[in-house]
Homo-oligomer: A and B are copies of this chain.
Amino acid sequence: VDEHIDALMRDGAARAGTFSLGGGLPASELFPRRALAASFLRVIREPGASALQYGWPEGRPGLRAWVAERLRRRGAAVAAEEVILTSGAQQALAIAAEVAFAAGGRIGCDAESYPAALALFRARGLTPTVERTGVVGFYAMPALSNPRGHGLGEDERRALLARARAAGVPIVEDDAYAELRFDGRSPRPLLAEARALVFHVGTFSKTICPGLRVGWLVAPPDFRQRALVAKHTSDLEANSLAQALLEDFLAHADYDALLDRARRFYAPRARRLAEALRRALPAWRFTLPEGGFTIWVETDREGDDAALLEAAIRQGVSVDPGRLFRVDQRASPPALRLSFASEPGPRLAEGVERLARAWAG
């Protein structure tokens, strides 16, 4: 079934004229191309060309210091030495799975969660579950969840920490969208509360661009050495070029201004998609996201999300089928994750109308 859905999604992506409400892709209009080009021309001239050479597995000191400083501003006392730069947030998740959950078991997740994390857990012998007991650990997105785009409330946050502490099991904190909340408040990470339990995972993919594939992991002190071995044996180091580019870019850019711009860019798109859904598909349920790139919608009758995806692609719009996000992988009633990030407003509205035609069958 996953291969069938994969084929459908590739088909949708390959068809000219298809509007994309699928994927978690940031808007390419926001990529700071000019500034990255300036950084490239600076780093490529450096004697020794460290941007093109091998580096240490933990990554460039300057970039690690930058990540640590950002986390300290949010309340987590992290030193540069504690940050491991990774090949995107996904590799940080994979390292956490390798060092903390090698024996397998059940891992507590939201009922809907990030598909590549669920796929990773399954590939590594872990079973995602919505149960909160009898688990080897938790996977959570406290600042802003994917696909729903909601942050944990204070009570939920406390309850999650209490459960992990009581069971003595780690929490993998996926912080990918923390700085893209529309309210601009990046909450205090769980890392700040329970250092010995939290694998903290972040990335530049959503805020700068994903093609550089640089993220980070702050592992609990007891796991740090094993995490570094896992990083080294997985792929030696995050690519030097992107690390050097980011280090230089961040030394020159106003990152907070860049985040403000991104929030002001995405928030109206979220409202536009929500309005279109209310108008064209009033029976579908969703809540407005607090940030990020997507809206999670649930339909109102039994059906099959793969069939809905197929019909949508025939109508000229691609979407992400809900089963990929559901811990129980169920196809019915169909749910969808719809992205407002990569299409401009008029195409979002037209995309929803195409989707409504697909649903009407």
Contacts and interface: CB of A to CB of B under 8 A. Distances in A.
Given A90-B236, A210-B240, A211-B239, A36 B53 contact: no
A232 interface: yes
A49 interface: yes
State which size class the interface on A falls in: 35 or more
A235 interface: yes
Contact of A234 (B94, B232, B236, B244): B94
A313 interface: no
Interface stretch (A65-73, A116-124, A131-139, A266-274): A116-124
Contacts of A235: 86-88, 90-91, 94, 213, 234-235
Chain A's interface: helix, strand, loop or mixed, by majority? helix
Contacts of A241: 211-212, 239, 241-242
Interface of A: 3, 10, 23-26, 28, 31, 33, 36-37, 40-41, 44-45, 48-56, 86-88, 90-91, 94, 98, 116, 119-120, 123-124, 205, 209-213, 225, 229-230, 232-242, 244
Among all A-B residue pairs, the 9 with the closest Cβ atoms:
A211-B240, A213-B239, A52-B209, A120-B233, A52-B211, A91-B235, A87-B235, A54-B210, A123-B233
